[in-house]
Amino acid sequence: MKDYDELLKHYELYETIGTGGFAKVKLACHILTGEMVAIKIMDKNALGSDLPRVKTEIDALKNLRHQHICQLYHVLETANKIFMVLEYCPGGELFDYIISQDRLSEEEARVVFRQILSAVAYVHSQGYAHRDLKPENLLFDEYHRLKLIDFGLCAKPKGNKDYHLQTCCGSLAYAAPELIQGKSYLGSEADVWSMGILLYVLMCGYLPFDDDNVMALYKKIMFIHLDDDCVTELSVHHRNNRQTMENLISLWQYDHLTATYLLLLAKKVRGKPVRLRHPSFSCTYASTTPKSKNLSLEDMIMSDEHCVAGLADCEWCEDGSSTGVATPQTPQFTKHWTESNGLESKSLTPVLCRESANKLKNKENVCTPKPAARNEEYFAYPEPKTPVSKSQHKREILTTPNHYSASSKVARNQCLKGTPVKTPANAAGADKLTTGVISPERRCRSVELDLHQAHMEDTPRRKGTKVFGSLERGLDKVITVLTRSKRKGSTKDGPRRLKPHYNVTTTRLVNPDQLLSEIMAVLPKKHVDFVQKGYTLKCQTQSDFGKVTMQFELEVCQLQKPDVVGIRRQRLKGDAWVYKRLVEDILSSCKV
């Protein structure tokens, strides 16, 4: 191993802790100081046309020194390899942290975003643009401080800062419109766009523009995407097919159609049903109607006659069954109200959302209130995190964030003693390799679709928002509290003992073997190939063409206080959002 000779003079090499595109990242210890480092290892022969990317990154990192940028310490080049010795960030990716919390509170988002901003402002001040800003490229150090990594796509235009770039790069979901259009653009401006996406992800826990289909995603980013619900409603209203309707709206003539589309969209944004009213429906403000003057709230509820909208936020639902809710009588009226699938609805009932009901209580307006009849489906836009929700509380009980895991601490201690760190993956069939059943159908994509469907069937979810909840919630399904006596049945060498960490999903289970077998039973059903090593399952998915699309590890571990079993999860390769969906699907499918 000539290539490693020089490196091994100065560093003790431990396990692979990650992969980044064409590189492998290993944990190591700098012998003289005893400090842990991360070493990015690249094979020059495998790099091919990507070699300039590596040079770009090295050049940039040599010029950048900032508290929120991963520090480059040492570069070694041999005949076949390039080694980059980098600051070790044991706190994991910002991406994993966000999903473990669902989303960040405004306070925490502010702390996190300020660090990103200071790193990116510094990068720009030095004449660079990062061009691949995303939560996967921000890691936490042991003090929970963020460090920006992966400068392989960064650009330093020669000459002035206003030099326009041409290369389209980075992750589509975070890419600025000018960049994906192939226009020339300013690198720093493209970074600012990505930071906007990042801020959205921090606060919402999902992407603002997201689609499985690349073309559809492209359209959304360019705002040339028309909202499906609004188009449907307008198509039904105008008795046009969707395509004709889309073409007409896309003319953007700022006529009545433009107004109706935009106002309908504005309603949707505010969480209201995407419904058009019949043109004969008056917008007269109710309090001006003489008849309404002395009516009590109850009178108003019972009287169709007085159900004059006029309220900015008067809403309607299709459920006419509620008591005391007036149903429009006019046949013509009923006929025109439609469900969003384009079919005529049977009975449509005017209802009020909470704010309107409150106004009613303040005896101002007339319309028939229905308590808090907000349609979940329409909450497609960010809701800032509120102090403590029920589910949040539940999660907090289940997971306790910690800055770095036991493994890294053990490694650090051992490094200081000069002992190589071995990551024991012992117990149940220790060191015996068990290969999972490899399904002939390895369509990762179908897994995603199934997942979506499964969740849709499970619980009504918000459209456009998270398809699934937190990993912890997924695990609620596998919660089975086993008796202590059953635990005795488990193998002699138990799973690794780990401290709570946001990459560790806590269960209420006490039997690791049972959880392990449950996960192993679920993986093939999700088209995930795996190799078992002790309590660690090394998982991967492949495309139809046999390309490895994702690699990750699931490790059943033992937690203390509470003394329960957990699952450590680690993404090694693949799209972070696809990984999130898949792992949540796996965990929520575990039935013990």
Q: Judge whether 508 and 564 are in contact, CB under 8 Å.
A: yes
Smaller CB distance to ligand H91: residue 40 or 455?
Answer: 40
Task: Tell me the HSE value of 165 on the side-chain side, using a 13 A CA sphere.
Answer: 25
Catalytic residue among 132, 150, 227, 585: 132
Tokens read off for 411: 């490694």
Choose among 165, 137, 127: nearest CA to 20.
137
| 40 makes contact with ligand H91 (CB under 6 A) | yes
Tokens read off for 252: 């953007």
Smaller CB distance to ligand H91: residue 70 or 352?
Answer: 70
Q: Give the distance from CA 121 to its chain's centroid.
A: 25
Select from 139, 498, 550, 586 the one that contacts ligand H91 (CB under 6 A).
139
Smaller CB distance to ligand H91: residue 22 or 200?
Answer: 22
Q: Could you tell me the smallest distance in angstroms from the CB atom of residue 92 to ligand H91?
A: 7
**Cα(194)–Cα(173) distance, rounded to whole angstroms?**
9
Q: Give the distance from CA 119 to its chain's centroid.
A: 22
CB nearest ligand H91: which residue? 18
- Piece of the chain touching ligand H91 by CB under 6 A; list 83-91, 205-213, 492-500, 532-540: 83-91
313-332: contacts with ligand H91 (CB under 6 A): none
Select from 58, 89, 231, 325 the one that contacts ligand H91 (CB under 6 A).
89
**Cα(181)–Cα(117) distance, rounded to whole angstroms?**
25
How many Å is the maximal CA-CA distance in the chain? 95
| 86 makes contact with ligand H91 (CB under 6 A) | yes
147-176: contacts with ligand H91 (CB under 6 A): 149-151
Radius of gyration of the chain (CA): 28
End-to-end CA distance of the chain: give it in Å, rounded.
Answer: 47
Q: Judge whether 126 and 161 are in contact, CB under 8 Å.
A: no
Select from 28, 29, 38, 366 the one that contacts ligand H91 (CB under 6 A).
38
Q: Could you tell me the smallest distance in angstroms from the CB atom of residue 70 to ligand H91?
A: 5
Instruction: Return contacts of 384-388, CB within 8 angstroms, 24+ apart.
Output: 384/106, 384/203, 385/103, 385/104, 385/105, 385/106, 385/203, 387/105
The C-alpha angle with vertex 242 and arms to 236 and 246, in degrees rounded to 5, equals 115
Smaller CB distance to ligand H91: residue 119 or 447?
Answer: 119
The amino acid sitting at 559 is L
Q: Judge whether 567 and 555 are in contact, CB under 8 Å.
A: yes
Beta bridge partners of 374: none
- Piece of the chain touching ligand H91 by CB under 6 A; list 145-153, 206-214, 289-297, 345-353: 145-153
| 97 makes contact with ligand H91 (CB under 6 A) | no
Region of residue 447 (left: phi > 0; alpha: psi -120 to 50; beta: else): alpha
108-137: contacts with ligand H91 (CB under 6 A): 136-137
Q: Could you tell me the smallest distance in angstroms from the CB atom of residue 87 to ligand H91?
A: 6
Smaller CB distance to ligand H91: residue 191 or 233?
Answer: 191
Smaller CB distance to ligand H91: residue 218 or 404?
Answer: 404
Report in angstroms the alpha-carbon separations of 83 from 48, 50, 54.
16, 15, 10
| 373 makes contact with ligand H91 (CB under 6 A) | no
Binding map of ligand H91 across residues 212-251, x = CB under 6 A, - = no contact: ----------------------------------------
| 20 makes contact with ligand H91 (CB under 6 A) | yes
| 47 makes contact with ligand H91 (CB under 6 A) | no
Q: Judge whether 85 and 75 are in contact, CB under 8 Å.
A: yes
Residues in binding contact with ligand H91, number by CB under 6 A: 19
Q: Could you tell me the smallest distance in angstroms from the CB atom of residue 438 to ligand H91?
A: 25
Q: Could you tell me the smallest distance in angstroms from the CB atom of residue 339 to ligand H91?
A: 43
Smaller CB distance to ligand H91: residue 151 or 535?
Answer: 151
**Cα(184)–Cα(168) distance, rounded to whole angstroms?**
9
The C-alpha angle with vertex 386 and arms to 95 and 143, in degrees rounded to 5, equals 40
| 425 makes contact with ligand H91 (CB under 6 A) | no
Helix axes 576-589, 444-458, angle to 10 degrees: 60
Smaller CB distance to ligand H91: residue 38 or 367?
Answer: 38
Beta bridge partners of 76: 83
**Cα(257)–Cα(264) distance, rounded to whole angstroms?**
10
Smaller CB distance to ligand H91: residue 25 or 217?
Answer: 25
Tokens read off for 496: 């690794």
H or E, element range at 249: helix 242-250
Q: Could you tell me the smallest distance in angstroms from the CB atom of residue 179 to ligand H91?
A: 19
- Piece of the chain touching ligand H91 by CB under 6 A; list 74-82, 84-92, 177-185, 239-247: 84-92
63-82: contacts with ligand H91 (CB under 6 A): 70
Q: Could you tell me the smallest distance in angstroms from the CB atom of residue 539 to ligand H91?
A: 15
Smaller CB distance to ligand H91: residue 188 or 407?
Answer: 407
**Cα(261)–Cα(228) distance, rounded to whole angstroms?**
11
Beta bridge partners of 147: 139
Residue 162 known to be catalytic: no
Select from 93, 191, 472, 585 the one that contacts ligand H91 (CB under 6 A).
93
Select from 7, 17, 301, 565 the one that contacts ligand H91 (CB under 6 A).
17
Select from 3, 7, 12, 18 the one that contacts ligand H91 (CB under 6 A).
18
Residue numbers annotated as active site? 132
| List of residues contacting ligand H91 (CB under 6 A) | 17-18, 20, 23, 25, 38, 40, 57, 70, 86, 88-89, 93, 136-137, 139, 149-151
